Structure 1
Amino acid sequence: MTISPSRLAHPAVRALVTALNGNDEQAFFAALTPDATMSDDGSDRDLREWCEREIFTTRGHMDVQSESHQGLSLVADYRNDTWGGMRTRWRFTVEDGKVSRFETGQA
């Protein structure tokens, strides 16, 4: 059973996942701090380049399966037009109500 983004525990994570699933680039970046960083499978990536390639031009979508650590860790089935679907883990760091870092990779 998936968890609706509107029911995610942490408001900053909820905003980010909702924007991602809505393919709303403006809302997605508004949910991040200006200096936000990210990593994919343990390697730091250029956030804007990665998001463009893995989310926005490929219609990325996250079906959250579980959350832990007060909503700052998720396990989700993630899919996009490039890779299809895969089980992924996401960890978020939040500062001042916005996501300052997220780490993702295969679960």
Structure 2
Amino acid sequence: MIWTKKQTVNQQKEFARLKEDGHIFIEDKRKFCSRIKIESSRYTQLYRTLLHEFGHYVHYLEVVERSGNEDENYEEKERREDYYFKLPKSEKERFANKYADHWRKIIIP
């Protein structure tokens, strides 16, 4: 796994998360390199990435599905769905990361 030294703020946060997952990076002049190991890779996939993706789904449900009632018409639900897809990516990512962090603390005390 290779990461450049020139990173955006979001890339820096992700890089820090990978380190927290147990990935060990070796630095050279232009980049950071890490050999993928099963333990750290499994942790990243199961306890961070999977929970993060569930977080996106839960966010969608909260904004679109759970906000309505049984008597509403199709246009109202479509309006909420349009609203959800117009949300900034950063807001969706923040929700998904927070969701993953919350459940990871419960799953892995």
TM over 0.5: no
Q: Greater helix share, 1 or 2?
A: 2
Q: What TM-score bracket applies, with the shorter chain setting the length?
A: under 0.3
TM-score (ref. length: structure 1): 0.27
Please tell me whether Structure 1 or Structure 2 has the larger radius of gyration of its CA atoms.
2
Q: Greater strand share, 1 or 2?
A: 1
